[in-house]
């Protein structure tokens, strides 16, 4: 099975840039999606197909991927960005979806 | 506006059966896959499987194959997640979700509100 590895936690000061990674074998060849989940709420898609943002998601959110790592970057972080973030890919070999373990973003 | 509305919270005993539902509205129900995602208390998201309501084509993650049944009734625009022998380890929040576009590998951009299932003796 395909495994996606995320750091359990990332901390950042307000106004700074948060970087959340998602590691997977040749993830650079796959389409990566990212979700934000705040406590008690359903997940929200923030990035799809590597670096596309749905309407309503600020331009501060961006994605990239290369080699074995995908990255979600949140610039000018504010308290409202504090949440869990999950990466997700479609593994064509098994024809199934896979989530990363999630990263808790703390705004100091 | 497309939305998914799930059935309410459930409390069951080990060994019991259960079916929870997810009703779609505001879009062409038979054109989009619907997926199910588990989230155990304090844990991450787990991709369970999905179904295409148009033809009932279904895919399961190996971890959930044989443990749950995913089905859909397109006449009432509703997808289901079913257990025939609940275990305490099935205690979790379950979300249904719809991809952004019609392909099953698309990102989930429409999510239900979640259904909490508690299994306890």
Do the beta carbons of residue A105 and residue A6 sit within 8 Å? no
Local confidence band at B48 (pLDDT 50, 70, 90 cut-offs): very high
- pLDDT at position A57: 96
Return all residues near A58 (Cβ < 8 A) that are at least 6 apart: none
Read off the tokens for A36.
Answer: 């934000």
Whether B46 and chain A come into contact, CB under 8 Å, resolves to yes
User: Which residue in B44, B97, B111 is closest to A86 by CB distance?
Assistant: B44
**Helix, coil or strand: residue A19:** strand
Return all residues near A18 (Cβ < 8 A) that are at least 6 apart: A10, A12, A73, A74, A77, A81, A105
Q: Does the pLDDT value for residue B103 go beyond 90?
A: no
Which of A96, A101, A102, A104 to mutate to test binding with chain B, by most B CBs within 10 Å of its CB? A96
> How far is A20 from A8, CA to CA, in rounded Å?
10
Local confidence band at B50 (pLDDT 50, 70, 90 cut-offs): very high
Q: In chain A, what residues touch B98 (CB-CB under 8 Å)? A: none
Averaged pLDDT for residues A1-6: 94
User: Which residue in A42, A43, A48 is closest to B100 by CB distance?
Assistant: A48
> Are B105 and A97 within 8 A, CB to CB?
yes
Residue with tokens 């993650």: B61
> Are A42 and B114 within 8 A, CB to CB?
yes
Averaged pLDDT for residues B103-120: 95
> Are B109 and A54 within 8 A, CB to CB?
yes
What is the tens place of the pLDDT at every residue in A11-42? 999 999 999 999 999 999 999 999 999 999 99
Averaged pLDDT for residues B23-41: 97
Q: In chain B, what residues touch A95 (CB-CB under 8 Å)? A: 59
Smallest CA–CA distance, residue B59 to chain A, in Å, is: 7
- pLDDT at position A77: 97
Return all residues near A96 (Cβ < 8 A) that are at least 6 apart: A90, B47, B49, B59, B61, B62
Residue B33 or A1, more confident: B33
Give the angle subtended at the CA of B49 by the CAs of B20 and B28, to the nearest 5°. 75
Averaged pLDDT for residues B49-68: 96
- Find residues 68-107 of chain A whose CB sits inside 8 Å of chain B: 84, 86, 88, 90, 92, 94-102
- pLDDT at position A1: 84
């Amino acid at each position: 099975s395909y495994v996606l590895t995320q750091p359990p936690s990332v901390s950042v000061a307000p106004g700074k840039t948060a970087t959340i990674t998602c590691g997977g074998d040749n993830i650079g060849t796959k389409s990566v999606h990212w979700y934000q989940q705040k406590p008690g709420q359903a997940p929200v898609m923030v990035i799809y197909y590597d670096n596309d943002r749905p309407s309503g998601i600020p331009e501060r959110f961006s994605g990239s991927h290369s080699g074995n790592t995908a990255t979600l970057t949140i610039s000018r972080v504010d308290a409202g960005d504090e949440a869990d973030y999950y990466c997700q890919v479609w593994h064509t070999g098994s024809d199934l979806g896979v989530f990363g373990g999630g990263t808790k973003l703390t705004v100091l | 506006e497309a939305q998914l509305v799930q059935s309410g919270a459930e409390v069951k005993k080990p060994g019991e059966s259960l079916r929870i539902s997810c009703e779609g509205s505001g879009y062409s129900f038979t054109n989009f896959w619907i997926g199910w995602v588990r989230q155990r208390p304090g844990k991450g998201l787990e991709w369970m499987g999905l179904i295409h309501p148009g033809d009932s084509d279904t895919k399961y993650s190996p971890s959930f194959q044989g443990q749950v049944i995913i089905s859909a009734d397109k006449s009432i625009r509703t997808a289901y997640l079913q257990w025939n022998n609940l275990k305490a380890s099935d205690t979790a929040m379950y979300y249904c979700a719809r991809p952004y576009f019609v392909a099953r590998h698309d990102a989930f951009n429409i999510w239900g509100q979640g259904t909490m299932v508690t299994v306890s003796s």
